[in-house]
Each structure stands twice: as structure tokens, then as C-alpha cells.
Chains A and B, each alone.
Chain A
Amino acid sequence: MKDFFSYTSELFDPSRVKDKPEALKGIRVIDFTHVIFGPTASRVLGTYGAEVIKLELPFYGDLWRPATYWGRYWKHSNPIWHYVTQNKYFVSIDLKLPEAKDIVYRLAKDADIVLENFAPGTAEAWGVGYTSISKINPNIIYLSCSTYGQYGPMRYFPGWDLLAQAASGVLSLNGFPGTDRYFKLPDYLGDFFPGNLGSMALLMALYYRNKTGKGQYIDLSQTDSMMRALPHFTYQSITGEAMGRVGHTDPAMVAASIFKTRDARFVGLACATEKQFEGLCEAMDKKDLLQDKRFSDYLHALQEKNAEELRSIVTDWVKTMDCDDIIRLANEKGFAAAEVMDDKMVCEDPWRRERGSVILFNDDMYGELAMAGPSAMLSKTPARTKWIARPLGYHNRYVLMKFLGLSEEELDTLEAKKVVGTFDDKPGLKPPVYYDLEKDPLYNYGREVAK
């Protein structure tokens, strides 16, 4: 039998991903969502082969298109928008006009999934909510994403990731105890985590529909989603105490904290078992700690006072060591340790490049961009990036003519009435300056283009 790692490296070979089948091929998704929460739910489906038609307002587009980190654009696009909008079809129609609604209804007839994250009530009021779409397509799966949910007294409260972090308790948990500083989870995790839960709920609904033929409506609140990951409620009900903030430590694991090394780097370290703690003691050359009553068993060593004393012992040791040596010892002796990785380190990490969890994607329009790979590697139906973000309305002709069979004249009329449209001359919306859209066969679908 082949050695295990030769077997797996063939099984998961990143260079073969594009030739493998797609699990969600043929699933059509109508995507009204914007910014991060909803678009993440559809992004996951898109990477596994679903056909995601992203609808945006003409000349304006998704709110996140122009909103890049510290205002830094990349080829007139928002570099962090590409990941969440990969593999999507960009159609730009004005939902407030009756002709646009007609287009949506026609698309919905053959669609499998619709998702939206307007303020609760908006989709229903516009006649594109579940009650309207399910009349046209009774077996549709419809996901509404919101901060507090579609029913309950807070349903009309407006919200973002931040408000879900505030309302769920998540924000109150980050920071050093005893200080007046609190920190939100970075980079809109209050959108990304619920967004992934949303795609899981959608897949479950698809699975159910395959079994029973029935579609359904899903109401996903990002506050509910964040609370799913908080054992803090259980902690409070059992101990009668609040867990509070933990600074740079993990009070649930032995010796778990972020430490500063001799070479001024930061390393996260923890022991998951008593055996791993033995390994750490060996690495520190302090095997006497194993006889120490304070640390004699795992639960004991976690008690607040004991944990604090152990942490200060480890702090003193880490101070005398270089980061690389800690990692090497962790691997040798068997405890967990990982350096604090920042953007550039993650981007350039050879392990991630070899694994395919950071890929250098070569796009027809934008050229090369480093992107995150999927968060799970599937051996037979892996996720993949086929294209990245496109200018506003880029796929109008392709989708409306090819999927809906609209004629050139019908399209002209819609454009004249501003039912469909493309981009204004704004970064985030328009193509890169060097790119000649006139020669793009997809943008000009149905027309002759000069080669």
C-alpha cells in the first residue's frame, strides 16, 4: 500500500481541482444580498458550482464595492471584495420598477434558491419576498438574512455585524479584564460566521428538497448565529457567574495564552491534555511541575489561581526563547503552539501555497491576485475559484439573453427605461483602466466583438 502522504497528496492535489466535478452544478441562485452576510452565504454555494446571479442597483451597486480597507483600491476595484463575490454573475436591475420585478419573477421560476438581506420587511413590501416568490415557484428555498430576525419586537431594528456583536454579548468578551477597553471581533466576523451558517442551512434545505420535493423559508439572524457559538450562557446558568473577558489567554485550556518571545514575536500556546502538559514541562526543563499539586490534574490546573501561576512560569520561559525554537519544541514534545500570523505572513506562507488555502489566482480581467482557498478541502467535489468580481452589470446581457431568452430589442427598451444598467465612472464599480470592455465577449454577449 502506498504511503499515506503520497496517497493524500494525490487525492487532494490542488492542480487537479479544476477537472473534478462540482457538487452544486445546476443549482440556480437568485441573490439579492449585499455587503457581507448574505453574499458570504451565496459565495460558498458558488464555489461548489452553483450558478449565483447577483442582483445590484444600476449605477450604484453593492454598498461594499467602493468600501475598501483604508481606502486602498487595487486596479480600481476593492481587493477584499473579490473573495466574497467570486464565481458570481453580476446583473444590475432596478427592483423598484415593475419591469425589473417581471425579470425577477421569470428568473425565479427556474431558480432553486433565493436569498436577501434587506432590512426585514423590505423584500416582502417590494413583492420579492418569500410569500410572492413561492407563489411562482412553490418549491423555492428562500433565505432571509438579518441582524435580529424576521419576527420578534426587534425585527425592524436596523443592523450590521457590529450590532450583532453588541447584542449577542460577543463584543463584551474581548479585552483585558479590569480595563475599560473592549474590542469588537475584527473584519466583520459577525457577518462571515453567520454567512457560513446560512449556506449550511441552505444546503440542508436543498438536501431536504431532494428527499421530499418541498422548498422552505429560512430566517437567519446574525445575533442568533453568534449566540450559537457562546457556551457563556451555559457557564452563567451553571456557575451563577459571568465568564467575562480573558485578555490574551484561554481560561479553558492549560497554559493557554499568547506569549512574547525573546525575538519579540508573539506565539499562542496551549496544552489540550495532561500528556501535552508533560511535553511542555519537558520542553521547559521543569519536570518537577508534574509533581506540583497545583497542576496535578487538568481541571485543577485550570483553576484561576493555579492557571495564573502556571502562566507566569511559562511567560518567563518563553521570554528566554526564540519563536522558532518554541515551535520546534512544540512539535517535538507534543504541545500546541503557533505564531501570531499577520496578513503578509498568511499571504506568503509556503504551507498555504502548497495546500491551496492561499492561491495565486490568474483572472482574465484583473490578472494575478492572492486569494484565500476554501476552508475545507473536498477530495471529489472541491470548491474552486473560476472568476473574481466584475464591474457592475457585467453579466446583464449574458444572463438576460442566455438564461431568459430576451432579444436585443427587449434589452434596448429595458436599458432605455433604466430598468437595467451598468456602472458609473467610480472605483469599485468600473473595470480596470487598461481593460477594453468593447472586446469582451461576455460583456457583449450576443454581439460580434473584435478580436
Chain B
Amino acid sequence: MSLFKKKSKEKIYTRYSGQANVHAWKGVVERLSNPEGTPDVLDDILVLDVSYGNFSGIIAASLFAEFGAEVIKIEPPEGDPCRKMTPYGRNVKGVGIPFIFEGRNKRYMTLDLQNNPDDRETFTKLAKKAAVVIEAFPAGDMDSWGIGYRQLSEENPGLVYIAVTPYGQYTTKAEEFRTFPDADITTQTGSGLSAQIGDLPSEPEPYNWPLKAGMWMGWYISGLSAALGGTVALMHRQLTGEGQMIDVAGMDAYSSMTGFPPSIGYTWENSRPRIGVLDFILYPYGHWKCKDGLVAIAAPRDHDFRALLKIIHRWDLEDDYRFTPDRIPDIIEQAMYLHREIEKETMKETADELTKRALTYSMKAARSKWRGGGVPIVMRVMTPEMARQQKQWEIRKSFLEVSDETLGKFTITTGFAKMTESPPKVKWISCDIGKDNAYVTEKYLS
């Protein structure tokens, strides 16, 4: 499926497109699209990831690795339990798929910190040379083994020590729930995400239950939060030489990323219900069935909404007092009525046809002197498999075909940010337990 079957002049759907410095811009794009061989920001940073049974530690470590840090994943001889967390148990030689996906530019070393005092000593030596330590043991365990922030920072005051747990490193509850394990699903439920995703209360059980986001949204938020906090600490370290301790609690993930739950709970003194396919602020802002699948449509501003009515040939709804101008979906039945009316029309067309109409309309509106044209936006709802086929991502080199001796051939996503000087990159993927024991010993311990 491609919207661009033949090479043609680039179409412009927005109002402003003239470029001030065309030549300079071409040079910028040239550099953005060729990340190979660019410098690594963190080429002087050693990261030790000893996180155990918690993917957010692994994700944080990956983000540092993509920006060029030397990341050593340290795990006991039997491996991090995260290796086995994989959809439907599908694996390559015992390694789960999410673990492979995050095996970016990493070194692997075996040390049994939970049981072996000698290994703790080796770790202490390594940690003297490290800029970042990431751990996910129960709060206080590392400390009780003599390798916590308190002890390590004495010898290495510049150390950035990141701890990831469900309830954090301080507070009464953190102490009471010290050994509580972490999981993506509990991070989603406990931080406020699941409460907002799922069908209307009027639907039958279990379809009206809170849902899990189909991706590891909880763990990816915690992982990113850990890496982001860590990067702020690295900035401070770069300027002052001082390290610090960072505490990420999984149960904060959703709430602290969006900020919605506390402020809504406080100002409304109530909780939002689940409103199915609707949105709390915008309408139309969702997805509808069409002839060959689903389309996402966003046309929330008044002029966007009117434009949508035109392209789906439902101008008759324009002066209906229920929808103009008030389309705030607080009256669910009313919003659902409009939803069904729109669906009647989208069902008659394919996703490509609807997308084309929206783009043609936007193009005309952008050129028109009348500013009320509106930009109705339509996009086919793609599965990851369909997204994979889009020319856009081929040109942006967003996917990488990896070939590893042990793991074979597979696809990953890469280059989430394109940068002209020091972009994130994936250089290799590997997962073998203890693969780099000799390398680490020689480079850092001899």
C-alpha cells in the first residue's frame, strides 16, 4: 500500500512552504539522512546496567547505548529474567523478542551480584570507572551488599546512579513494598493508564473492562524517564563533576508523563470514565471503519469539521445545533450518534480515497485566500506490518535489517531522532550471555 505510486512533483498540503534558504536546507537534509559515521555524544561514558527482571532498566540502557555510550549489561550466569519475557513465548535460541529488540550496541558480562561476594568486588572495581549505574533490585539491596549509591559514590563522586522500582527508594510505602516486583501491566494499571483505555461502561463484560495498551507503554515510559533523568544528571556531571542518585518509580509512569490524572482528579473532584473510541477534548478525533479497514480522522477545529462534512458529503449536518459549534463529547450519546453518522459515509469509501480527498481539500484550502478552509486529516490505521512497507520510513532509514551470528536475520526500528551532528544509532544487536567477559576484563579490570 503506498500513496505514492509514481514519482511526481511533491504535493504541498499546508499553507506555508516556500523556503528561505533552499540550498542550506538541502545540506541539512543530506546530513540528517546519513547518520553513518557521525560522532557519538557519549563516547566517553561507561554505563553498567545491572537491572534484573525489569525492562525499564534495559530500555534506559539502550537509549544511552544508541547515543554512543559503552553499555555493559551485567547479569547472573543464568541470565536476566527479562530474556524470557516474550509474546507467546516466541524466542530465538531461548532469547525473547523484546530482549533482542533492545539488544542495541551492548556488551554482555556475567556477575552474580545477588549471591557472590567476589562478583560484587569485581563490580565495585568496574563502577569506579563508570559514569552511570542502572539497577532494579529491591530498594536497599545493593546498599546492603555494599555496592549501593552510598558506597560507590565515595570512590566515584561523579557517579550517576539510577534505580528503577515500582514504588521508589523512599517513603513509607516504598519501604513496606520494598521487594514488590515490577511488570509492564502493573505499571500501566498502577499509574493511571489502563483506567482510560477501553470501551464504554454500557458494553457487556469483559469488553467494558480497563484494557492494557497493546505495547509496553508502562515500561517504555519508565525506561525513557530513567534515561532522561540520567541525561540531566550527566549534564550536571559534565559541568561540575558531581554525580547523583536518581529514583524512578514505575507507578509514576503515566501520571507523571501526561500530568492529567492528578490535575483532573483535583479540579473535577472525580474521575473520568472510560469513553471508548471518543476523546475527552476533541471531536472528531478518532477512527472509523471504511471499505477496506479503518481510517483515523482528526478534524476537531470548527473549520476542520466543516471541511470534513464537505468531503464526506454530509453538509446537511452543518447547521445541526448539536454539533455546531459544540462538539465537546460530554454527552456521550450525542457524540456517538455523530460517530455513527460519519461512519455511514466512511464505510462507502476506501482509506486511500478518503485520504486523497482530505489532502486535495487541504491543498486547496492552503492556497485559498479565505482563511477558514480547514485541514481535515485522514490517515489509514495501519498495523505495524503495513507501517513497515511505507516509503517514508525507507527514505528515513527508520528500519534496520540486522544480521547476527547467533540470532539470525530480523528487523528493528532505529534512529528515532534524526540529528545533523550526533544522532542515535544502532551499530549492532547481540544478546549472548557473558559474550564480552574477556573484553570487559581486559579493558577495565586489568
- A375 and B232: CB pair below 8 A? no
A232-250 CB mask vs B (1 if < 8 Å, else 0) is 1111111100111111111
Given known A-B contacts A8-B169, A132-B20, A354-B173, A160 and B298 have beta carbons under 8 A apart = yes
Partner of B17, one of A156, A170, A232: A156
B242-257 CB mask vs A (1 if < 8 Å, else 0) is 1011111101110111
Partner of B217, one of A158, A198, A229, A336: A229
- A4 and B177: CB pair below 8 A? no
- B215 and A229: CB pair below 8 A? yes
B181 close to chain A: CB less than 8 A:
yes
Closest to A332 in B: B179
- A200 and B392: CB pair below 8 A? no
A377 close to chain B: CB less than 8 A:
yes
Partner of B410, one of A238, A302, A336: A238
- B418 and A149: CB pair below 8 A? yes
Closest to B326 in A: A71
How many angstroms from the CA of A249 to the CA of B253 in the assembled complex? 19
How many angstroms from the CA of A63 to the CA of B212 in the assembled complex? 30
Give the shortest distance, in Å, between B62 (CB) and chain A (any CB): 9
B373 close to chain A: CB less than 8 A:
no
Partner of A214, one of B207, B285, B399, B421: B421
How many angstroms from the CA of A1 to the CA of B143 in the assembled complex? 11
- B419 and A218: CB pair below 8 A? yes
B21 close to chain A: CB less than 8 A:
yes
B350 close to chain A: CB less than 8 A:
no
B336 close to chain A: CB less than 8 A:
no
A343-377 CB mask vs B (1 if < 8 Å, else 0) is 11111101110110110000000000111111111
Q: Which residues of A contact B21 (CB under 8 A)?
A: 124, 129, 131-132, 135
A111 close to chain B: CB less than 8 A:
no
Binds A, one of B105-113, B115-123, B194-202: B194-202
- B381 and A171: CB pair below 8 A? yes
How many angstroms from the CA of A355 to the CA of B255 in the assembled complex? 13
- A11 and B245: CB pair below 8 A? yes
Q: Which residues of A contact B270 (CB under 8 A)?
A: 343-344
Given known A-B contacts A156-B11, A379-B244, A125 and B87 have beta carbons under 8 A apart = no
- A338 and B380: CB pair below 8 A? no
Closest to A129 in B: B20
Closest to B408 in A: A238
- A224 and B416: CB pair below 8 A? yes
How many angstroms from the CA of A330 to the CA of B84 in the assembled complex? 21
- A268 and B92: CB pair below 8 A? no
How many angstroms from the CA of A205 to the CA of B424 in the assembled complex? 11
Closest to B377 in A: A158
- B188 and A268: CB pair below 8 A? yes
- B13 and A268: CB pair below 8 A? no
- B90 and A355: CB pair below 8 A? no
A70 close to chain B: CB less than 8 A:
yes
Closest to B43 in A: A211
Binds B, one of A51-59, A175-183, A412-420, A438-446: A175-183
Binds B, one of A185-193, A285-293, A402-410: A185-193
- B265 and A347: CB pair below 8 A? yes
Closest to A268 in B: B189
Binds A, one of B28-36, B309-317, B435-443: B28-36
How many angstroms from the CA of A19 to the CA of B417 in the assembled complex? 34
Binds B, one of A80-88, A390-398, A429-437: A80-88
How many angstroms from the CA of A128 to the CA of B422 in the assembled complex? 23
- A234 and B255: CB pair below 8 A? no
Q: List residues of B (214-269) whose CB comes within 8 Å of A's CBs.
A: 214-217, 220-222, 224-236, 238-239, 242, 244-249, 251-253, 255-269
B334 close to chain A: CB less than 8 A:
no
Partner of A203, one of B11, B175, B231: B231
Give the shortest distance, in Å, between A159 (CB) and chain B (any CB): 7
Q: List residues of B (1-47) whose CB comes within 8 Å of A's CBs.
A: 3-4, 10-21, 24-25, 28-29, 31-33, 39, 41-42
A331-343 CB mask vs B (1 if < 8 Å, else 0) is 1001111111111
Closest to A6 in B: B170
Q: Which size class do A's interface residues fall under?
A: 35 or more
Closest to B386 in A: A169
Partner of A182, one of B16, B381, B416: B381
A48 close to chain B: CB less than 8 A:
yes
Given known A-B contacts A227-B387, A355-B249, A199 and B140 have beta carbons under 8 A apart = no
- B392 and A153: CB pair below 8 A? yes
B354 close to chain A: CB less than 8 A:
no
- B90 and A239: CB pair below 8 A? yes
A150 close to chain B: CB less than 8 A:
yes
A136-173 CB mask vs B (1 if < 8 Å, else 0) is 00000000000011111110111110110111111111
A204 close to chain B: CB less than 8 A:
yes
How many angstroms from the CA of A253 to the CA of B84 in the assembled complex? 8
B62-96 CB mask vs A (1 if < 8 Å, else 0) is 01000100000000000001101111111110101
Give the shortest distance, in Å, between A10 (CB) and chain B (any CB): 9
- A162 and B195: CB pair below 8 A? no
Interface residues of chain A: helix, strand, loop or mixed (majority): mixed
How many angstroms from the CA of A344 to the CA of B150 in the assembled complex? 37
A228 close to chain B: CB less than 8 A:
yes
- A67 and B195: CB pair below 8 A? no
How many angstroms from the CA of A196 to the CA of B443 in the assembled complex? 34
A449 close to chain B: CB less than 8 A:
no
Give the shortest distance, in Å, between A361 (CB) and chain B (any CB): 10
- B261 and A343: CB pair below 8 A? yes
How many angstroms from the CA of A205 to the CA of B418 in the assembled complex? 11
Residue among B222, B258, B398 having the largest count of chain A Cβ atoms under 10 Å: B258
- A220 and B259: CB pair below 8 A? no
Give the shortest distance, in Å, between B135 (CB) and chain A (any CB): 13
A281 close to chain B: CB less than 8 A:
no
Partner of B246, one of A120, A127, A204, A376: A376
Given known A-B contacts A220-B417, A236-B384, A371-B263, A163 and B247 have beta carbons under 8 A apart = no
- A122 and B15: CB pair below 8 A? yes
Q: Which residues of A contact B393 (CB under 8 A)?
A: 152, 224, 227
Q: Which residues of A contact B231 (CB under 8 A)?
A: 200, 203-204, 207
Q: List residues of B (368-386) whose CB comes within 8 Å of A's CBs.
A: 375, 377, 379-386
Give the shortest distance, in Å, between B231 (CB) and chain A (any CB): 4
Q: Which residues of B contact A242 (CB under 8 A)?
A: 383-385
A318 close to chain B: CB less than 8 A:
no
Partner of B260, one of A8, A187, A352: A187
Give the shortest distance, in Å, between A328 (CB) and chain B (any CB): 10
A76 close to chain B: CB less than 8 A:
no
- B257 and A198: CB pair below 8 A? no
Q: Which residues of B contact A260 (CB under 8 A)?
A: 205-206, 209
Closest to B355 in A: A157
Q: Which residues of B contact A215 (CB under 8 A)?
A: 421
Q: Which residues of A contact B176 (CB under 8 A)?
A: 331
How many angstroms from the CA of A76 to the CA of B11 in the assembled complex? 41
- A122 and B379: CB pair below 8 A? no
Partner of B235, one of A206, A219, A350, A354: A206
- A69 and B233: CB pair below 8 A? no
Q: Which residues of A contact B10 (CB under 8 A)?
A: 153, 156
B367 close to chain A: CB less than 8 A:
no
How many angstroms from the CA of A262 to the CA of B81 in the assembled complex? 32
B346 close to chain A: CB less than 8 A:
no
A267 close to chain B: CB less than 8 A:
yes
Given known A-B contacts A246-B212, A376-B248, A172 and B183 have beta carbons under 8 A apart = no
Q: Which residues of A contact B92 (CB under 8 A)?
A: 238
- A357 and B252: CB pair below 8 A? yes
- B168 and A131: CB pair below 8 A? no
10 smallest CB-CB distances across A and B, nearest first, come from A173-B214, A347-B265, A376-B229, A83-B259, A338-B190, A268-B189, A169-B384, A370-B266, A302-B89, A166-B296
Give 5 CB contacts A-B under 8 Å. A152-B392, A182-B277, A268-B189, A331-B179, A375-B222
In addition to A80-B259, A154-B390, A168-B382, 16 A-B residue pairs with Cβ atoms within 8 Å of each other are A69-B264, A183-B276, A193-B217, A198-B417, A199-B228, A224-B415, A266-B189, A268-B212, A272-B181, A299-B84, A302-B86, A346-B192, A346-B255, A351-B171, A371-B259, A377-B248
